[in-house]
Chain A
Amino acid sequence: MIRYIRRAAACCLLLLVALLANAARVQVFQADSLDKNPANRRLTIARYHEPRGNILVGGRSVTGSKDTDQQLRYERTYRSGPLYAPVTGYASQTYGTTLIENAEDGILSGTDSMLAPFPLWNELTRAQQPGGNVATTIKASTQEAAYNGLGRRRGAVAAIEPSTGKILALVSSPSYDPGVLSGTGPSVTDAWSRLNASASQPMLNRAIRQTYPPGSTFKIVTAAAALDSGAVTDMNADTDTPDPYTLPDTTTVLPNEASGCENASLEYAIEVSCNTVMANLGVKVGLSGMDEAVGKFGFNDSGLKIPSGVARSNFDTDMSKDQLALSSIGQFNTSATPLQMAMVSAAVANGGELMYPHLIDETRAKGGRVVRRNDPKSYRRAMDASTAVQLQQMMVDVVTQGTGSNAAIPGATVGGKTGTAQNGVNNAGTPYAWFISWAKADCASQPAVAVAVVVEDASAHRADITGGGFAAPIARAVMRAALEH
């Protein structure tokens, strides 16, 4: 019996060894992969255990953190949430992050290894640093002007500093308060479903994530292509264009809203917005020529990041001549984000050199040490310098003598282009009112701002909704704010 008891005891010892070995397996050898399992909430809990870093506009924080004493301890708060929502995005315990909150999450949450004084050492210790701050390129007064200008109407504004690519304003209306998504619980989930169910789509970032038919504002791109390719050599010379213009290989007739467009010069065609001349020029430049030209402005680029992804603005690469004609005046399948059209305006204002648009100036560790700085860089040369000079002149003419008179600012040179984009099948929908422009203070050496404004308003009368009437005043307010120091 003694022998059997000893053997049974050995069995028990075996069980103990198995338990200890298994404990070591789970707690030591598999620990890393278990810690990183997406379903393991501990990383999330650790992430919210410290106050989140802040997003700065003009040196002031537009965000904050609130200690809730919940499991996910610190919740994001927003000062003027709706105003900056298209810039900051939300940082929700329940729904994750978007826009800057998402793109710079590493800095804001303190997980970015560059925040540590000795990054390599930090990789080993995996110590959590306090969250760093993100300084944006947004100018508060410009942002506010755009937001107030749009008011309760649906639409978007994007403003860029042409010489650097800094985004000065990014507004989408109607907006929402990202703060209502911070944290967990029924109030958050209710807000989420309410915002998502809303017909006005308050969470849609219209400035960078929504594309609209650009309408007549696209004629600037077509004009640049025509001048660059040599289809037009003199902007004051007559073009050979009938009025009305029959689309190539069809019987469809393209009318004009403006008068005096028959054989009009490029300058006049831009000034009063002749459809016939610009459609004809698009066809003359040809499909491959147009495609190359629009690509230099940023169309058809799905990789544009500011650092959040920008929706791809479209210009078809495979179409018939009549479709090319319509595309060249910003219709058919041509579509653009408001930011894209601001880039078009900025390229003209900056002498043809298009700077890469960006929203983040620099990121800093909590102590103020700069972690990364965004220096201006070129996106592409959108057009020849001489073309840019001619287009600047034409855009100034639009404001001084043409459809964009509402955008004029005393003491500054303003160039612009109106647009009224048709919408829906047979234009059944409400057209969009567009205005793109740039402004240079008389005392300054280069333009301070380029703007694109789009207003989509179902409550307005169709006749009223022209870019000049609706969108130009908003653009003027935005430019005014940007010109002030």
Chain B
Amino acid sequence: MTATTADAPPPELRLPKRRGVELVLLVGAVLISVYGYIDVGLAKNDAVPADTLNYGAGLGLLALLAHLAVRFRAPYADPLLLPIAILLNGIGLVLIYRLDLETPGDSAAPTQLIWSTLAVALFICCVLFLRDHRILQQYTYLSVAAALVLMITPIFFPAVNGAKIWIRVGGFSIQPGEFAKILLAVFFASYLSANRNALSYTGRRIWRLQLPTMRVLAPVLAIWLISVGVLVLERDLGTSLLFFGLFVIMLYVATGRLSWIAIGMVMAAFGAFVVGSLEPHIRGRVENWLHPFASIDAGQGANQLAQSLFSFAAGGVLGTGLGLGHSILIGFAVKSDFILATAGEELGLAGLAAVFLLYALVVARGYRAGLALRDSFGRLLAIGLSSILAIQVFVIAGGVMGLIPLTGMAMPFLAQGGSSLVTNWVIVALLIRISDSARRPDPGFAETGIIAPIVEDES
């Protein structure tokens, strides 16, 4: 604190809050979504859908409420995060509605709209009641315990389509593993920020590898084992990949040791190899990735991945236009895991690139907030949350487009699935909170006009 003179108040420093920008962008996002909705109706039935107004008003209201929450409680937050989330959610609703038209007996869009409302409500709650992200640090061990419980619970429930990731309560089915992602990110962030030095500089040296002490390593190993356990017991390759990726990135950012990355990669490869050779379900995925057309050559017709590739190919550069593609041929999971194929076919490479860039913007903004923060917990949390988003997008988009083996995972915001939607909205809420802290003027620096000094640490 610098001493201030008592007689003259310091000149009012106007810091850019950018809430107006956010509002304009939100209007744009809602309008684009409504336009897409109308577009689908015109293409399929030559008429504007009857509930266009309701849809537009609903999405607009969600956007407005979220915006107000941010305006009141996180005025300095990054103005891009919320509009992009709304836009992706809106596009997702449009795509699901469009696919609903092909499956008259099964409409998912209304349910998805309810989930969106729930997710945005949770977002608002997070923004309103979580005043500072550092509060989360107090719940390090609670969050890891909760995460483990959430991950282990589905094992006691029946498998759905080969993966035990569901809990059925009444008519609702939720994927608790989705929520575990956030909790794990919180745990990793606080554990790593607390043990950074121990992880980096203690322990024995073997040749040129600096090994940490067992005490520090144990939780890490435990998490690795749990991931593999999840993989084996729940057959959820996607989540397991996500944990590895998340953990390795956060560990690297915390310690800067490439040896960690190397160890992580070796462990991951070993785990994947062992599980892959034991678990036919996983091996089938890899086989399918290597030879997506094997089933066609065998005369059994195109499998889902092949159908997905056909779908993307049919889109070409500009797409067929909303409502004019045939991605429904993918069949099962076309509204959830394969939702991107519909985007690829009907919006083309152009639309797909736009969607990817929207995700990339959110990730970049998350990283940026992490850079601007001064506490290492917040930094790691921002990086962790952004990375969750990035890895999710990469794993599922790469999967449905034949870049990597296909793993079941929801496309954030776009795919049908309440758990995923809620989780990703909470991630955005936390990023809003973090970016608000990052861009908020430090009261100590208010008079000098320095907004947020960046402390270059020793690394």
Measuring CB to CB, which residues of chain A are less than 8 angstroms from any residue of chain B?
1-9, 11-13, 15-16, 18-20, 22-24, 26-28, 30-32, 34-35, 37-42, 45, 71
Binary per-residue interface labels of chain B (342-355) against chain A in the complex, 1 for a CB within 8 Å, 0 otherwise: 00100011001100
A24 to chain B, nearest CB (A): 6
Q: Which residue of A lies closest to B360 (CB)?
A: A16
Q: Bound complex: CA of A3 vs CA of B352, how far in Å?
A: 31
Interface centre among A1, A31, A45 (most CB of B within 10 A): A1
**Which of B356, B371, B387, B456 contacts A19 (CB under 8 A)?**
B356
* Selected interface stretch from B61-69, B204-212, B304-312: B304-312
B99 to chain A, nearest CB (A): 14
Chain A CB within 8 A of B95 CB: no
**Which of A1, A8, A35 contacts B313 (CB under 8 A)?**
A35
If A1-B457, A22-B402, A42-B310 touch, whether A27 touches B348 (CB-CB below 8 Å) is yes
Q: Bound complex: CA of A42 vs CA of B398, how far in Å?
A: 23
Q: Are A26 and B312 in contact (CB under 8 A)?
A: yes
A1 to chain B, nearest CB (A): 5
Q: Are A34 and B316 in contact (CB under 8 A)?
A: no
7 tightest A-B CB contacts, nearest first: A34-B313, A39-B302, A31-B313, A39-B296, A22-B403, A40-B310, A15-B394
If A8-B367, A39-B296 touch, whether A28 touches B256 (CB-CB below 8 Å) is no
Q: Using Cβ atoms and an 8 Å threshold, which residues of chain A touch B256?
A: 1, 3-4
Question: Besides A31-B313, A39-B301, 14 other CB < 8 A contacts?
Answer: A1-B459, A2-B371, A2-B456, A4-B253, A4-B254, A4-B459, A12-B363, A26-B312, A26-B313, A27-B312, A28-B316, A37-B302, A40-B302, A40-B314
Q: Which residue of A lies closest to B359 (CB)?
A: A16
B373 to chain A, nearest CB (A): 10
Measuring CB to CB, which residues of chain B are less than 8 angstroms from any residue of chain A?
249, 252-254, 256, 293, 296, 301-302, 306, 309-310, 312-317, 326, 329, 344, 348-349, 352-353, 356-357, 360, 363-364, 367, 370-371, 376, 379, 383, 386-387, 390-391, 393-394, 397-398, 401-403, 454, 456-457, 459
Q: Are A41 and B329 in contact (CB under 8 A)?
A: yes
**A-B contacts, 8 listed (Cβ < 8 Å):** A5-B253, A18-B394, A19-B397, A27-B316, A32-B313, A34-B313, A38-B296, A40-B313
Q: Using Cβ atoms and an 8 Å threshold, which residues of chain A touch B302?
A: 37, 39-40
Q: Are B315 and A39 in contact (CB under 8 A)?
A: no
B191 to chain A, nearest CB (A): 16
A259 to chain B, nearest CB (A): 62
**Which of A1, A9, A40 contacts B379 (CB under 8 A)?**
A1
Q: Bound complex: CA of A23 vs CA of B308, how far in Å?
A: 12
Q: Using Cβ atoms and an 8 Å threshold, which residues of chain A touch B254?
A: 1, 4
Q: Are B371 and A26 in contact (CB under 8 A)?
A: no
A363 to chain B, nearest CB (A): 30
Q: Are A28 and B317 in contact (CB under 8 A)?
A: yes
Q: Using Cβ atoms and an 8 Å threshold, which residues of chain B touch A3?
A: 256, 459
Q: Using Cβ atoms and an 8 Å threshold, which residues of chain B touch A13?
A: 360
Q: Are B316 and A8 in contact (CB under 8 A)?
A: no
B264 to chain A, nearest CB (A): 13
